[in-house]
Chains A and B, each alone.
Chain A
Amino acid sequence: MIDKFLMAYRSIRERRARSILTVLGIVVGIAAIVSLMSVGYGMEEAITGELTAMADLISVMPGKITGATYVELGGFTDRDVKDLQRIGGIKDISAMTYDAVEVEYRNKRAPIFVFGGDTKELEGFYVEPVGLKEGRWLRENDYKGCVIGDRVANDFFDEVIQVNDKLIINGEKFIVVGVFEKASTLYAADVDPHIFLTLRASKEVLQTDEVKYIMVRVYDIDEAEEIAEEIMEVINDNHGLDDFATAMTMGSMIELMGDIFNIIRGVLVGIAAIALIVASIGIMNTMLMSVMERTHEIGVMKAIGAKSRDVLSLFLLESSMVSLVGGVLGCGLGVIVAKGLSFVASMASGLEIEAIVKPEVILGGIAVAMIVGVLSGFYPARKASKMSPVEAVRYG
């Protein structure tokens, strides 16, 4: 057996340049599969991980989500909030409101979304994951303080806004007490373009008692779905409408994400599979050429007593060695590429994505390489083994 390996190795080495190119084909195919899958898992983990940390949360919105669009149907009332407090299993409720109003800074005006809510809740929800670049977070009695997102500070006005600068929000003066860091992808839309106030201040500024968003925390995550149902019932009853409120648990959001990731992964694997098919055509081509070149040699081997099976196994061994080497190197390269890709993805998205290299992906990658090698080597090997010794010897 060792000798068969040796013979296969010699004939691979004999055609060094071509063997290297063939191996390279497999390497690229396998590296593509391994790296894309690892990055895919990493992305999924990064996003669902963030969502899982908020698994006890139910978002309640006065509107409908159809497909990917949210249609706002109005606002919640104080009565809604009070009624929710009667539902069992709820740890706390925090009402929020928001609206676009005119904001003035050094005589420049811009329409900006102003967000108001329970400062503790907002802190857990936005300040902890995003972080503040300057200043401090709001306190419950900061009636005239505000904290601004990164784009509000840097993009919306001609001059950069800093802590202790004054803004005029809908005609009332506020002092900037803190500025957020630039948020990651997951939070960018929620934080960067917004101004945050206490709930009381925002109600005054926005001149409304309406609540646009309620965050509910539950004690038991397993009850979240039930409680969400109940919340919708209670609020819909209050407003006399069938589907006025939407209460979404993080669990259902994670599920939604899982579906999306399955699709993404399918597409990625599909792309990698194409690379692999091209590589396997490469192996087959190399092996066919090798068979043709060695017709004479095959004839000689058969003339001195090699069985068809001997010839078949030699050629199969050769193609599977090429693909095994390709598979192993491909996995190695795949891991490196995955790390690189996840680094780039982290930089681009602001999310901390770490490629997850699963052992089954590595083993699968090597196995796929071997299968590809054996399958694409089989036809040439069989062709070689079927040759008539006389004709093969005469060849060349």
Chain B
Amino acid sequence: MIRTENLTKVYRMGEVEVQALRDVNLEIQDGEFIAIIGPSGSGKSTLLNMIGCLDKPTSGAVLIDDINTGKLSENELAEIRREKIGFIFQQFNLIHTLNALENVALPIFFAGVRREKRLKRAEEQLVKVGLEDRIYHKPSEMSGGEQQRVAIARALSNDPEIVIGDEPTGNVDTEAGNAIMDILEGLNREGRTIIVVTHDADIAARAGRTKRMRDGKVLD
């Protein structure tokens, strides 16, 4: 279970303080598929970064399975990101010098798994997202939809409980977007918690629950 308690994040942009999140209290149950929607600047991505342990709150707390992530060291946070969470970005964020297989294997590499085992696991993930014929392709040789599927395979490579998508369909066409949502639904059916940020109402409609954000607050 993921819970935020009075989660607040303040950014400093020069002299101006920007309140990205204000006292957000949100509970996400294990195995839930939740979509967070809202206009840009409403704090959706900031919230995802907090839940995904990429950033630390100014005040308040994020608890993942009752562990207060704010109290963890950098290394412990890296471990949570690696083992518990799979992150999917709008811009795919693949490493362009590595091919699909190596990109997917990267988180397993950081986990210290042996090469053979690692590549086998990575290959399985690529097969799972339907890219068995793109294994040795570089990101630049693939379409946006394919790249995003590689990114999903990468997010799944350490078998995380939670998959977080920051506008995962934002940079692909409708068809590819639907394919991506199909995959995410499948992951949800496997029992994984799926959290996506989107401003596409159709995409949001496929989630089990939708939360709307505005001005750093979650609306009820």
Partner-B contacts on A (CB < 8 A):
2-3, 7, 10-11, 14, 296-297, 300-310, 388-390, 393
**Closest Cβ–Cβ distance, residue A147 to chain B (whole Å):** 75
Closest 7 interchain pairs by CB? A305-B82, A307-B78, A300-B93, A390-B55, A305-B81, A304-B107, A389-B54
Q: Are A10 and B54 in contact (CB under 8 A)?
A: no
Interface stretch of the complex, out of B108-116, B142-150, B208-216 = B108-116
Which of A3, A297, A393 makes the CB contact (< 8 A) with B54? Answer: A393
Instruction: Say whether B95 contacts A297, CB under 8 Å.
Output: yes
Which chain A positions have C-beta within 8 A of B98? 7, 10
Measured CB to CB, the closest approach of chain A to B156, in angstroms, equals: 11
A305/B74 in contact, CB under 8 A: no
Q: With A and B bound together, what is the CA distance between A310 and B75 in angstroms?
A: 10
Q: Looking at the assembled complex, report how far the CB atom of B125 sits from the nearest CB atom of chain A, in whole angstroms.
A: 13
Q: How far is the CA of A7 from the CA of B95 in the complex (A)?
A: 11
A305 touches B49 (CB 8 A): no
0 or 1 for each of B35-68: is its CB under 8 Å from A? (1 = yes): 0000000000000010010110000000000000
Residues of B within 8 A of A3 (CB): 109, 115
Partner of A306, one of B55, B110, B154: B110
Residue of A nearest to B87 (CB): A303
A304 touches B75 (CB 8 A): no
* A303 partner residues in chain B, CB cutoff 8 A: 52, 54, 81, 87, 89, 93
Identity of the chain A residue whose Cβ is nearest the Cβ of B96 in the assembled complex: A297
Given A301-B106, A393-B89, A307 and B97 contact (CB-CB distance below 8 Å): no
Is A390 within 8 A of B75, CB to CB? no
**Of A7, A10, A304, which contacts B81 at CB under 8 A?**
A304
B95-146 CB contacts (< 8 Å) to partner A: 95, 97-98, 106-107, 109-111, 115
CB A125 to nearest CB in B, in angstroms, measures 70
A interface: dominant SS = helix
- Residue of A10, A14, A309, A389 with most partner-chain B CB within 10 A: A389
Give A51 Cβ to nearest chain B Cβ, in Å.
Answer: 60
Q: Say whether B97 contacts A10, CB under 8 Å.
A: yes
Is B169 among interface residues, defined by CB-CB distance under 8 A? no
Quick one: which of A10, A11, A304, A389 contacts B106, CB cutoff 8 A? A304
Contact A310 B110 (CB under 8 A): yes
**Given known contacts A305-B107, A306-B78, A390-B49, A11 and B93 CB-to-CB distance under 8 angstroms:** no
> For residue B83, which residues in chain A have a CB less than 8 angstroms away from its CB?
305
Name B's A-contacting residues (CB within 8 A). Answer: 49, 52, 54-55, 74-75, 78-79, 81-83, 87, 89, 93-95, 97-98, 106-107, 109-111, 115, 154-155, 158
List of B residues within 8 angstroms of A300 by Cβ: 89, 93-95
Q: Judging by beta carbons under 8 Å apart, are B158 and A305 in contact?
A: yes
Chain B interface main SS type: helix
What residues of A have a CB within 8 angstroms of the CB of B87 in the complex? 303-304
- Contact between B97 and A302 (Cβ–Cβ < 8 Å)? no
What residues on B are CB-neighbors of A308 within 8 Å? 74-75, 78
Q: Would you give the shortest CB distance from A394 to chain B, in whole angstroms? A: 9
For this complex, 15 residue pairs linking A to B, each with C-beta atoms less than 8 Å apart, are A3-B109, A3-B115, A7-B98, A10-B98, A303-B89, A303-B93, A305-B79, A305-B83, A306-B82, A307-B74, A308-B75, A308-B78, A388-B55, A390-B54, A393-B93
CA distance A393 to B115 in the complex (A): 27
Q: Write out the residue numbers on chain B whose beta carbons fall within 8 Å of the beta carbon of A301.
A: 95, 106, 110
Other-chain contact of B78, A14, A296, A305 (Cβ < 8 Å): A305
CA distance A10 to B93 in the complex (A): 18
| CB-nearest residue of chain A to B166 | A393
Contact A11–B109 (Cβ < 8 Å): no
On whether A307 and B95 interact (CB within 8 A), knowing A388-B55, A390-B54, the answer reads no
Alpha-carbon distance A14/B96, docked complex (angstroms): 10
CB-CB nearest in chain B for A310: B110
Q: How far is the CB of B74 from chain A (nearest CB, A)?
A: 6
Neighbouring B residues of A309 by C-beta, 8 Å: 75
Closest to B155 in A: A304
In the complex the two chains form, is B78's CB within 8 Å of A302's CB? yes
In the bound complex, how far is the Cα of B138 from the Cα of A14, in angstroms? 13
Q: Residue of A at shortest CB range from B75?
A: A307
Nearest chain B residue, comparing its CB with the CB of A296: B93
CB neighbours of B81 from chain A (8 A): 302-305, 389
In angstroms, Cα B81 to Cα A388, docked, is 14
Given that A297-B95, A300-B93 are known contacts, is A305 also in contact with B55, CB under 8 Å in the complex? no
- Chain B residues contacting A7 (CB-CB under 8 Å) are 97-98
Q: Which residues of A contact B79 (CB under 8 A)?
A: 305, 307
A305 — which chain B residues lie within 8 A by C-beta? 78-79, 81-83, 107, 110-111, 158
- A14, B107: Cβ atoms under 8 Å? no
Chain A positions within 8 Å of B49 at CB level = 390
On chain B, the residues within 8 Å of A2 by CB distance are 115
The residue in chain A whose Cβ has the minimal distance to the Cβ of B106 is A304
User: From A308, which residue of chain B is reached at the shortest CB distance?
Assistant: B74
Residues of chain A lying within 8 A (CB to CB) of residue B154: 304
Chain B nearest CB from A322 CB (Å) reads 16
- In the assembled complex, the CB of B107 is this many whole angstroms from the nearest CB of chain A, namely 5
